Amino acid sequence: MGFLDQISKTLTQGVDRAKFEADKFQKTTRLQGEVNEFRRQVDVKLMELGQRAYDLQRAGQISAPSISELASAVDQLRATLVVKEEELKVAQNDVFEEPLTPAGSAPSQSVPISYDAPPVSPPMAAPPTSGQKACASCGFQMPSSAMFCPSCGTRTSM
């Protein structure tokens, strides 16, 4: 068998394998979709079965203790749900009401519009210890690996 025949055989095998893998992927994806659809249908039927059992138990046509317990739990949850829905409606309808101040009187608390703060002096530079450096802007002692000063935020030189 010649060199070109060997290359042709290898290419043919590669194409056959790629086709097989593509077909396998398509088949498994289709089957996974079908499995998921059947699971969904089972869940829907179980919900319908549960609703019918609940309705029959409430109508007195089923008297199994386990179904009675589940029906009571559903009733309690529904009652709690009604209460919470009412609380939600009240909370949604709440409106902020401005406090009433007598005419001509100032509010009991006033907030200044501007504030004249005394100037802030940078912290005193402490003598550097090993592995530390001083910020060029404010003199704060920081680790030598710091990229920004933790005191003033100035970028440091490395």
Is the pLDDT score of 12 beyond 60? Answer: yes
Q: In the chain, which ranges are continuous DSSP H helix?
A: 3-58, 65-93
pLDDT tens for 27-43 read: 999 999 999 999 999 99
Question: 0.85 cut: is pTM over it?
Answer: no
Rounded distance, CA 29 to CA 21, Å? 12
The 10 Å Cβ neighbour count of residue 149 is: 20
Rounded distance, CA 50 to CA 140, Å? 70
DSSP at 126: P
pLDDT tens for 88-138 read: 998 988 888 888 866 655 555 555 555 565 555 555 555 556 788 988 888
Unique residue bearing structure tokens 């009733």: 75
In degrees and rounded to multiples of 5, residue 142 shows phi and psi of -140, 165
Is the pLDDT score of 157 beyond 70? Answer: yes
